[in-house]
């Protein structure tokens, strides 16, 4: 069926899909990649994703740690497709959450299962260091961040994700949600050199041609790479 959240037909989306990136499935994930380890959820999620006309493409390198970029993020509806896409792969991408939420045992168990990482946001400097320290434990961790920091238009990205990757010594994995092709696209790793001015354009370039749900809300760096008016 066609998703009620998006008026493009399946046929139209399929005609514009990537001819380069291969379709990605749960079976293709390597043994080092963080997994949820649930047998039922991937089956249900894959069925939901297929019913909505979406699919996952690209490649997830067999590595245990990475900073994962979720872009572009212009609507709450993005999660309707992104979450089933991740569950269908049995891929565990963690996100940051307030540490106070973990004080309730039952809620803490749920948040841990979802992949929420407890962070004390009262001190911005400590958030970066705490995230670096979590990577330094050596435990498998794909930490998902949205450098746009908002679902509305923004002139610049927040650069904390970059300095986190540099400090932790982990690569950056760009992921795109493309409404034109109805694809959740896992793209090429970027290994930060410490020269942010040289590295950011490598990330921006991978989002060329990606269409968000609300193009007018696209962040300026992605408008620039797509030659769109600000």
Along the 230 residues of the chain, how does pLDDT read in single tens digits? 334 434 445 555 555 566 678 899 999 999 999 998 888 999 999 999 999 999 999 999 999 999 999 999 999 899 889 989 999 999 999 887 777 777 777 777 777 777 777 777 666 567 888 889 989 999 999 999 989 988 899 999 999 999 999 999 999 999 999 999 999 999 999 999 999 999 999 999 999 999 999 999 999 999 999 988 76
CB atoms within 10 A of CB 71: 26
pLDDT value of position 115? 72
Burial class of residue 156 in the structure, from the number of CB atoms within 10 Å of its CB (0-12 exposed, 13-18 middle, 19+ buried): exposed
Give the sign of the dihedral formed by CA 108, CA 110, CA 115, CA 116: negative
What is the secondary structure of 12-52 as a DSSP string?
A: HHHHTS-SSSPB--GGG--TTS-B---SHHHHHHHHHHHHT
Q: Give the position of tokens 């079976």.
A: 27
User: Do residues 143 and 94 lie in contact, with contact meaning Cβ atoms separated by under 8 Å?
Assistant: yes
Q: At what angle do helices 78-89 and 40-51 cross, to 10 degrees?
A: 140
Residue-level pLDDT at 198 = 97
Burial label, 185 (beta-carbon count in 10 A; 0-12, 13-18, 19+): buried
Q: CA of 153: how far to CAs of 6, 150, 220, in Å? A: 20, 7, 7
Cα gap 161→47, rounded to integer Å: 32
**Under the phi-then-psi rule, with left for phi > 0, alpha for psi from -120 to 50, and beta for the rest, what region is 204?**
alpha
- Helices first, then strands: H and E counts in the chain: 8, 7
Q: What is the pLDDT of residue 109?
A: 76
Q: What is the pLDDT of residue 6?
A: 40
Residue found under tokens 């293709």:
28
For residue 199, the 8-state DSSP code is H
What Å distances lie between residue 100 and 104, 111, 128, 129, 145, CA to CA? 8, 12, 18, 18, 20
């Amino acid at each position: 069926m066609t998703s009620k959240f998006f008026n493009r037909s399946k046929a139209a989306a399929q005609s514009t899909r990537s001819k380069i990136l291969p379709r990605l499935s749960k079976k293709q994930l390597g043994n080092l990649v963080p997994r949820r380890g649930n047998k039922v959820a991937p089956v249900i999620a894959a069925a939901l994703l297929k019913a909505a006309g979406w699919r996952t493409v690209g490649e997830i390198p067999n590595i245990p740690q990475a900073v994962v970029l979720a872009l572009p993020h212009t609507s709450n509806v993005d999660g309707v497709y992104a979450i089933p896409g991740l569950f269908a792969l049995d891929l565990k991408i963690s996100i940051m959450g307030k540490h106070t939420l973990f004080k309730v045992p039952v809620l803490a168990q749920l948040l841990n299962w979802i992949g929420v990482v407890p962070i004390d946001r009262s001190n911005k400097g400590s958030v970066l260091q705490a995230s670096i320290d979590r990577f330094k434990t050596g435990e498998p961790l794909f930490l998902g961040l949205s450098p746009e920091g908002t679902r509305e238009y923004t002139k610049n990205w927040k650069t904390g994700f970059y300095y986190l990757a540099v400090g932790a010594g982990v690569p950056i994995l760009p992921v795109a949600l493309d409404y034109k092709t109805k694809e959740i696209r896992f793209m090429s790793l970027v290994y930060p050199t410490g020269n942010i001015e040289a590295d950011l354009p490598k990330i921006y370039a991978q989002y060329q041609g990606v269409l968000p749900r609300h193009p007018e809300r696209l962040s300026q760096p992605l408008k620039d790479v797509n030659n769109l008016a600000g």
